[in-house]
Structure 1
């Protein structure tokens, strides 16, 4: 038995050694594909005794920035792959290109040092299991994608190896070729030459003058936006056409936001170039403000046009309107919701494309699709459920704008149908706000689903002596004279209940709509009660006492 165990352990050890050797061999076989071949002469560009550190991406970027900040541009030039330049041009152009690239990085990049690989092979060690880059060496890394004059330019690192030397990380030849163009677009502005040198001292990631000018610039921009908003509001009061006036009143604030974003972009293009952290936050913020302002402005204009169409074609919405008119108004609201969804989708696409986030977010979104689905399902369940229920109402139309409904004991009109809630207007001018998802899950009465007519019931409780034949004739005469009663052939009366205390008499009359029917029922009831009060007061309900008919025994009788 012991011999068998020894043999098994030796076989296991042999297998482990064999698998390890096979893995090492496979690694050696694939290692050649993790770098770019380069001429050894290109690695010696630039002069200087300073030792360069280029083994990992993080080390290369950090050392490059430290050298340029210290003014050692010859040493910094050795971090650029200048293989596309002649040897004479390398020594001449290298230091200047290093200086320009350092300024571009300072003003455009907010470097995530923790996310910048510290491995020589730049392998991603952890991440989503379905990320194809996890566990694989990389030979190039993108640091920043920027856009200049509609063209995309990237600052990128590559891993290079010359024969007989170790692999190192350098800025790629494409990046070097793009440096003059990037420096012209993002280098120091024309007004920075007038800033005193002591204000260029770095403070908490920004230069001192940036901390001073940013609050002033933001205050001036928002003041300019306020002036634009007030000007648009004042112009709206002088316009005679209702559509234009209403549109201008609604777009005051979004136009102010657009003006702020445009003015800020103009100031940045005019000659002010901020550092990387400020640029990373400021430019996306201004882009989002501009896109949101334009989108809201367009939406407000569409709202104003739709409102004028509604008021001009339909007028005030209630259940007195025809079915076609109420369906048209509901369809207008549905069109508005579709327009909002389209605008939001277009705005998101524009922002992502302008910020070049599709490339960086695309893989992450695909890799984390399951996680996003779970998060959206949990966090956005209520909102998404209400939006889907709103679209369901818009398509199926179980209710329409202006329908008269009875919901949880409240008689109300459907005043508005929004994405996540409905607004109901009760007969006494109260407003009931109901989440759409809750509304469609509860039973309700739609008194206008086919037409607005409604059969109203007036109930009166009277004594047994009340004569229905007399009251029937009186009710018919009163109802035929009332303007709120239609279809006189539908008039009807009946004793609907009977008890010890009296009898319940019901009177039925048809009205053109619920609101008219309510008022008509009140008038008919008052006239019936007046007739009974003046002609038959003995018909009012009376209390009856039942007396004991058994004779009482006389006192003292046994």
Structure 2
């Protein structure tokens, strides 16, 4: 009895163990199969039916991959087989009774829009049913992922972006196929009205509307040079009108207006050229996508350049009108505030140019849709672009930051007098890459901004209005020092540029044959220092020659000391 019971218990335990293992294997199989099934389901949109009212296509349409679907659509359209081309559109929103007729018309309109405004990237239309790019780099956001919707292009419609997409759909009774999405089909009539043939184009002869074999129609080949010529003529007219208006207001009372009108010539010319190109290619004639992808960025560049030049011109007019622009006038100690303001405006001027370049580059890239193809956004490539541009422009950016540093810290302002590498000069201009120094003999010294920042210099214009200049005299031992000092003070009394109460004369050195006398000459204005020093030296040499004769051994200017 005991043994029999033990056998029954053993059989029961074995049955339970077998049942547990079976359940475990079933769960593991479900766990492994479920993600694959979900992944397969995630590569298409499930729909009940697809274009059930359309007749069977005449040709063999392969819609299994994005590339084959696009090829089938374009081939049917080139043969004007719009009934077959309609199979590549998701027409489920069309009443089945009218699906065949309406579908053919929509296919023709869509082909016109694609032919005229969309540049198809065949390299990214993959010949795979799941459109998985096996060669995409790991940093790509879509690397290793199957696709069920592909972006072919983005067009503007009523001031909003409208996308053209291919979607992978699977009807209940069929295999997955790639067709133009329902949203794209819904927008086709409006897109055709916006980008289809204009009334002017419809009036052209048939031969002008035919393909030239160069990817453009004959009328486009003729219209492009005519449009450029019209833009040139209109721009010359605008330039001439503004030039004439500027000259007519050139008297002193209207001088600011004259300068503004003169500064408007380039911005107006650029706007006229850009507007002529855009109006001619979008309103009068609707050109193909290839031409449009070139004209739109060029027009944007012209508009941004016009805005930049206008802002810079207004700043220049403000500098000329409100402040002294001659560096000799700015170097006056009383013009300290003017020097700071002019330097700040010059910095703002450079900042406007930098911002215009950045904004213009972004607008051009956005308009050209360079990174929008097949769902890749500009943001996805921003990191790589930043590294490339940063490495290529590191020297330019270094100079730019250095020039902004000088302007903001005001270590050197336009109009400041300073000594740089033994050059006595006045700061004449601060640009992106260099600083222009005007030396005392009217020569120009060009210094790279980074060099100027990294080396020490004396700025005489920072601090007080005056300074002390020195004259070193080498005289014989028997020279009457007291008489020399009296002559020095008498000479200074006749010059109102000198602070007479602070004059100083000391003997700083001696040797067997001479004594060295230092004359300290305080001047009221820094700008007068050089002239006062040279004049005093001349007077003292004349005095020594007259009173001491041949006892003068040498006269030498050794140093200059700031107050």
TM-score by length of 1: 0.86
**Equivalent residue for 1:533?**
545
1:292 aligned to which of 305, 314, 317:
305
User: Contact 2:235–2:270 at 8 Å: present in 1 too?
Assistant: yes
SS of structure 1 residue aligned to 2:471: strand
- Kept in 2, the 8 Å contact 1:327–1:400? The answer is yes
- Contact 2:53 / 2:97 at 8 angstroms: preserved in 1? no
C-alpha displacement of 1:219: 2.2
Structure 1 residue 119 corresponds to structure 2 residue 144: no
Number of matched pairs: 523
The 5 A counterparts of 1:324-339 are 324-339=337-352
SS of structure 1 residue aligned to 2:274: helix
The correspondence of residues 350-389 of structure 1 with structure 2, limited to 5 A, is 350-351=363-364, 365-389=378-402
Q: Secondary structure of the equivalent of 2:152? A: strand
2:478 matched residue in structure 1: 465
The aligned residue for residue 261 of structure 1 is 274
The 3-state SS of whatever aligns with 1:437 is helix
Cα gap change, 1:362/1:427 in structure 2, threshold over 3 Å: closer, same or farther?
A: farther
Q: Distance in 2 between matches of 1:362 and 1:34?
A: 16
Moved more, 442-451 or 270-279: 270-279
1:214 corresponds in structure 2 to: 224
In the alignment, is the contact (CA less than 8 A) between 2:311 and 2:352 conserved in 1? no
Quick one: which of 221, 240, 256 aligns to 1:243? Answer: 256
Aligned to 1:169: 178
Equivalent of 1:441, from 448, 451, 454? 454
Q: How does 1:110-509 map to 2 (within 5 A)?
A: 110-199=119-208, 200-239=210-249, 240=251, 241-311=254-324, 316-348=329-361, 350-351=363-364, 365-485=378-498, 487-509=499-521
Q: Deviations over 1:115-156 (max 9, x none)?
A: 222211111323342333111111111111111221221111
* Cα pair 2:43 2:147 within 8 Å, conserved: yes
Q: Distance in 2 between matches of 1:320 and 1:264?
A: 52
Task: Identify if the C-alpha distance between structure 1 residues 184 and 369 changes in structure 2 by more than 3 Å, giving closer, same or farther.
Answer: closer
Say if 1:47 and 1:74, in contact at 8 Å, map to a contact too.
no
1:107 equivalent to 2:116? Answer yes
The TM-score normalised by the length of structure 2 is 0.86
**Partner deviation per Cα, 1:64-120 (whole Å, 9 max, x = no partner):** 112111111111111110000111121111111111111100111111211222211
Provide the secondary structure at the position in 2 that maps to 1:64. helix
In structure 1, how many angstroms separate the alpha carbons of the residues matched to 2:203 and 2:473?
92
Find the partner of 2:65 among 56, 81, 89: 56
| Structure 1, 133-142 or 306-315: larger mean CA deviation | 306-315
Structure 2: how far apart are the matches of 1:268 and 1:94?
Answer: 29
Once the two structures are overlaid, the 10-residue window that deviates more, 213-222 or 436-445, is 213-222
Structure 1 stretch displaced more, 332-341 or 391-400 = 332-341
Residue 191 of structure 1: SS of its match in structure 2? helix
Query: 1:100, 1:179 within 8 Å by CA — same for their partners in 2?
Result: yes
Q: Per-residue displacement from partner, 1:347-378 (whole Å, max 9, x unpaired)? A: 45555565667866996554445533432342
Give CA deviations for 1:25-57 in whole Å, capped at 9, x if unaligned. Answer: 743431011111123352562554111121111
Which 5+ residue runs of structure 1 have no aligned equivalent? 1-18, 543-558
Greater mean deviation of Cα atoms: 167-176 or 285-294: 285-294
1:291·1:351 contact (CA, 8 Å) conserved in 2? no
SS in 2 for 1:424: strand
- Check conservation: 1:44, 1:78, Cα contact below 8 A: no
User: Partners in 1 of 2:119 and 2:458 — Cα distance?
Assistant: 60
Q: By how many angstroms is 1:188 displaced?
A: 1.2
Distance in 2 (CA, whole Å) between partners of 1:41 and 1:335 is 61
- Structure 2 segments unaligned to the other structure (5+ residues): 1-27, 555-563
CA 1:57–1:500 in 2, change beyond 3 Å: closer, same or farther? farther
SS in 2 for 1:88: coil
Q: Measured at CA, do residues 360 and 428 of structure 1 come closer, stay the same or move farther in structure 2, by a change above 3 Å?
A: farther
Change in Cα spacing, 1:61 to 1:434, as seen in structure 2 (3 Å) is: same
User: What is the CA–CA distance in structure 1 between the aligned matches of 2:411 and 2:222, rounded to whole Å?
Assistant: 60
For 2:397 and 2:337, locate their aligned partners in 1 and report how far apart those are by CA, in whole Å: 30
2:15 maps to what in 1? none
Alignment RMSD (CA, Å): 2.8
